[in-house]
Amino acid sequence: MKKLLDLLTQEMGQAFEAAGYDAALGKVGLSNRPDLCEFQCNGAMAGAKQYHKAPIMIANEVAAKLSGSKVFEEVQAVAPGFLNLKIGKEFLKDILVTMESEPKFGLEAPEKPKKIVIDYGGANVAKPLHVGHLRSAVIGGSIKRINRYVGHEVIGDAHLGDWGLQMGLVLVGLKERYPDWVYFDESYTGEYPKEALFTISELEEIYPESSKRSKVDPEYKAKAMEATYKFQQGERGYWALGQMVREVSIKDLKRVYNALNTGFELWNGESTIKDLIPEMVQYMKDGGYAYISEGALVVDVKEETDTKEMPPCMILKSDGASLYNTTDLATIMDRVRNFDPDQIIYVTDKRQDLYFQQVFRCARKTKLVGPDVDLKWIGFGTVNGNDGKPFKTRDGGVMRLENLIKDTQDEMYRKIREGREMSEEEARKTAEQVALAALMYGDLSNQASKDYIFDLDRFTSFEGDTGPYILYTIVRIKSILTKYAEQGGNADAAKLQVAQSDAEKALAMQLSQFNAMMEGAATELAPQRICAFVYELANDFNRFYHETKILTEEDEVKKAGWIALLSLTKNVMEDSIKVLGFEAPDKM
RNA sequence: GCGAUCGUAGUCUAAUGGAUAAAACGAUGGCCUCCGACGCCGUUGUUGCAGGUUCGAGUCCUGUCGGUCGCACCA
């Protein structure tokens, strides 16, 4: 199904043409003045110069050509040359009927589906997820689902941090505690244990201890670096133990990501591509891209048009060790080989802006990726506390993600128990579901690139622009549909009718823009648009609901028409929040 | 120092270069014998500053002030 604005633009373009003007002037957009009209076209003003004519004259001529239009029931030319439009009700109804019958409510499949790899993890082994990881998970996960919904193939990669000094610190920490383990016995040639010898809590204890000690104890730090080196070289014992650290960490990460309804297709880490590094380095040397500067191996990524300093992209440190850039570039090589993607999307903290510019330029310059591969980076802002500074626990520590989730669930549970009758078990379950909506909607309704304030009270409120409000509206519709069925009505057989009231028409108009909205959200990688859409839809529904007695309506055809409208509204809302990453309960 | 980025009601967030800058929270006044009042209808109040481009600027350009962030061997 074509997008509504395209249909309107097409009709308007024909009118411009019929009046003797360029059809391209007939671009129709949403009205900025809902009090005056529903849609508007400013083409007459744009064309005034070209045709040396007063805009209002052009507008009048075009309006005259639209007098019998079924698409527009009202076309007004207004000074200085606006064309104010109202859409035909019959036409609008037909659009909704088409929406009902088509998959994904008329969202057209892409001409050529893309293959997309999206990297939105950034978690490290042996370190718990913290607030900072909330955004990459929520934004990345939602962008993945949006693109899938639209019809692309999307592969999510956790891209675990399991390579650098942190791994060495964990390994040396384990060695301090358990020097007798076979992993550290170089003469050992047998099998290593299959079962983990440690828990995630132990790792989370060891890492900070080890990290702290390495800062004050140079000898210890040397050991950690040695362990890092041995691990990176793939020395048997260290490699095996490192893999165990990975496994234990991944198991725990999955638990927390699950609570956020987020998963990954690939649990690759930086260590996954270790064997590619020498090859990649050689490739860059052979190609004449990489050279030694101050002892390190670098690739220049400056461009003539740069107005700022652009440091070279470092491939290897002066001691020959690899670093973040190395693994990221090798990962690009790996992804190109394994998946041949059309697009690779990175979702990280916005502070990494310059870094990713360097990496992307380097990948392009060295032809690690072809010109047809789109490299995209989305930088998100920080999650702040009420003081406007990065979110901390009460005592100033780093907030663990699972505690943040738990706090939200507890608050939600408290609110749910407060005002309604619900068994404890059901309240717990519902609270989890609603808390997820509160958390995700609270994050996604902001533009990704901006910082936002995490306000538990506001996010978990049932009032205003919040996740719980969206769910409440859906639950309300479900409740009416259930009652309709109890009365013996069949919602599936209900037929849409032409909208009567303004509120009903407004609801229908909002619905009819679903496909355009979803397509826009996908190309712009902007979940925020879905939030705005679904919130507006909820408002439109509530206004309509308020003035319309549905179940007591005596005219069965009319009643069925409303039921059909409600069903469609519910289904569109449910699909929308599903791609955002949460779902509505039946009761709340 | 160089560079990036942001600056919108009391607060928090919107706004493909288009008309009178839009919601929410807060404050405040109404609306339940009626499908979920966790709702609906009102009132209140905003583009840091100075220029410029444009028929038209929150949006583009220049300067300026303020915040945040980044500037090769961390990730």
ipTM metric: 0.93
Beta bridge partners of A118: A156, A345
Rounded-to-integer distance, Cα A456 and Cα A461, Å = 8
Cβ neighbours for A570, distance < 8 A, ≥ 6 positions apart: A474, A477, A478, A481
Does at least one atom of strand B sit less than 7 Å from the CB of A314? yes
For the full predicted model, state whether its pTM sits above 0.90.
yes
- Please report where in the chains the tokens 């956790």 appear, as a residue: A158
Structure tokens at A423: 């068994």
Is residue A174 classed exposed, middle or buried when 0-12, 13-18 and 19+ CB atoms within 10 A define those classes?
buried
Q: A478 lies in a domain?
A: no
State which residues form the domain around A70. Answer: 4-87
Structural contact between residues A410 and A384, judged by C-beta atoms closer than 8 angstroms? no
Last residue of a domain, one of A197, A227, A259: A259
Number of independent structural domains in chain A: 2
Predicted pLDDT of residue A567: 96
Cβ neighbours for A104, distance < 8 A, ≥ 6 positions apart: A149, A515, A518, A575
CB within 7 A of strand B (chain A, 15-54): 27, 29, 31-33, 35-37, 40, 42, 45-46
Tell me, in Å, how far CA of A73 is from C1' of B57? 33
Last residue of a domain, one of A68, A87, A106: A87
Q: Which nt has its C1' nearest the CA of A462?
A: B38
Predicted pLDDT of residue A339: 97
Structural contact between residues A473 and A538, judged by C-beta atoms closer than 8 angstroms? yes
Phi first, then psi: give them for residue A446, nearest 5 degrees. Answer: -95, 155
Would you write out chain A's pLDDT as a tens digit for each of its 588 residues? 999 999 999 999 999 999 998 888 888 888 877 778 899 888 888 888 778 888 888 899 999 999 889 999 999 888 778 898 999 999 999 999 999 999 999 999 999 999 999 999 789 999 999 988 999 999 999 999 999 999 999 999 999 999 888 899 999 999 999 999 999 999 999 999 999 999 999 999 999 999 999 988 999 999 998 999 899 888 999 999 999 999 999 999 999 999 999 999 999 999 999 899 999 999 999 999 999 999 999 999 988 777 777 899 999 999 888 888 999 999 999 999 999 999 999 999 999 999 999 999 999 999 999 999 999 999 999 999 888 888 888 787 888 999 999 999 999 999 888 767 788 899 999 999 999 999 999 999 998 988 898 999 999 999 999 999 999 999 999 999 999 999 998 999 999 999 999 899 999 999 999 999 999 899 889 999 999 999 999 999 999 999 899 999 999 999 999 999 999 999 999 999 999 999 999 988
- Please report where in the chains the tokens 């036409």 appear, as a residue: A91
Rounded-to-integer distance, Cα A481 and Cα A107, Å = 25
- Please report where in the chains the tokens 């964990």 appear, as a residue: A170
DSSP state of A38: S
Rounded-to-integer distance, Cα A172 and Cα A94, Å = 69
Q: A199 lies in a domain?
A: yes
Q: Which residue is nearest to nucleotide B20 (CA to C1')?
A: A33
Q: A28 lies in a domain?
A: yes
Last residue of a domain, one of A87, A116, A147: A87
Structure tokens at A292: 């030694």
Does at least one atom of strand B sit less than 7 Å from the CB of A446? yes
Rounded-to-integer distance, Cα A50 and Cα A28, Å = 19
Tell me, in Å, how far CA of A449 is from C1' of B69? 12
Predicted pLDDT of residue A303: 83
Does at least one atom of strand B sit less than 7 Å from the CB of A76? no
Phi first, then psi: give them for residue A21, nearest 5 degrees. Answer: -120, 170
Rounded-to-integer distance, Cα A546 and Cα A551, Å = 13
Q: A269 lies in a domain?
A: no
Q: Which nt has its C1' nearest the CA of A30?
A: B16
Rounded-to-integer distance, Cα A347 and Cα A116, Å = 13
Rounded-to-integer distance, Cα A135 and Cα A143, Å = 12
CB within 7 A of strand B (chain A, 266-295): 270, 293-295
Rounded to whole angstroms, the maximal C-alpha distance in chain A is: 93
Tell me, in Å, how far CA of A465 is from C1' of B46? 19
Q: A67 lies in a domain?
A: yes
Cβ neighbours for A251, distance < 8 A, ≥ 6 positions apart: A200
Q: A219 lies in a domain?
A: yes
Predicted pLDDT of residue A394: 79
DSSP per-residue letters across A237-302: HHHHHHHHHHHHHHHHHHHHHHHTT---SB--BGGGGTTHHHHHHHHHHHTT-EEEETTEEEE---
Q: Which nt has its C1' nearest the CA of A463?
A: B38
Helix (H) or strand (E) holding A50: helix A43-51
Cβ neighbours for A78, distance < 8 A, ≥ 6 positions apart: A36, A59, A84
Rounded-to-integer distance, Cα A381 and Cα A288, Å = 37
DSSP state of A322: B
Q: Report the amino acid identity of residue A251.
A: K
DSSP per-residue letters across A349-394: EGGGHHHHHHHHHHHHHTTSS-TTSEEEEEEE--EE-TTSSB-B-T
Give chain B positions with protein CB within 7 A.
2-6, 12-16, 18-20, 23-26, 34-36, 38-41, 55, 68-75
Choose among A515, A434, A514: nearest CA to A467: A434
Question: What's the distance, CA A256 to chain centroid?
Answer: 18
Q: A404 lies in a domain?
A: no
CA dihedral A477→A481→A482→A485, nearest 10 degrees, is: 180
Cβ neighbours for A421, distance < 8 A, ≥ 6 positions apart: none
Where are the strands (E) in A149-244, listed by range?
153-157
Q: Is the dihedral of CA A336, A339, A340, A342 positive or negative?
A: negative
Rounded-to-integer distance, Cα A164 and Cα A347, Å = 20
Structure tokens at A71: 């698409």
- Using only the alpha carbons of chain A, give its radius of gyration: 29
C-beta contacts of A339-343 below 8 A and 24+ residues apart: A339/A115, A339/A117, A339/A155, A340/A115, A341/A114, A341/A115, A341/A116, A341/A117, A341/A155, A341/A373, A342/A114, A342/A115, A342/A116, A342/A372, A342/A373, A342/A374, A343/A114, A343/A115, A343/A116, A343/A117, A343/A373, A343/A374, A343/A375, A343/A376
What is the CATH classification number for the domain harbouring A56? Answer: 3.30.1360.70
Q: A278 lies in a domain?
A: no
Where are the strands (E) in A79-147, listed by range?
82-87, 115-119
